Amino acid sequence: EVQLVESGGGLVQAGGSLRLSCAASGFTFDDYAIGWFRQAPGKGREGVSCISSMHGTTYYVDSVKGRFTISSDNAKNTVYLQMKSLKPEDTAVYYCAASPGGVAAKVCNGYAAIDYWGKGTLVTVSS
């Protein structure tokens, strides 16, 4: 059974930090790019950060550059999103997704197929 399980969300004050984890199972992790997407209330889904170990690429949306860091532990089939200097506008449900063989930028910008989605983890940043 394919699973992408997000964890690490929660409530944090502005300026604080959180680390999200995406644990994958049921597919060949090394063959996939993994992306973090978010959806804020009343807004569309946005690609936040993506990583492709196969292509050695990462991508960050402009609004999180310098604050978020994506990393992958292929031995644990897990991708992390370290989030620092959080802002209220970062409040959203964060989802991880897996794209077969995708380049990070294309995955995050919707130009690559997504095979699997997680159920999401809520991040709330209070002002």
CB 119 within 8 A of CB 6: yes
pLDDT tens, residue by residue, 57-95: 999 999 999 999 999 999 999 999 999 999 999 999 999
pLDDT tens, residue by residue, 17-66: 999 999 999 999 999 999 999 999 999 999 999 999 888 899 999 999 99
Tokens of 28: 């060949």
Element (H, E) at 78: strand 78-83
Place of tokens 């910008």: 109
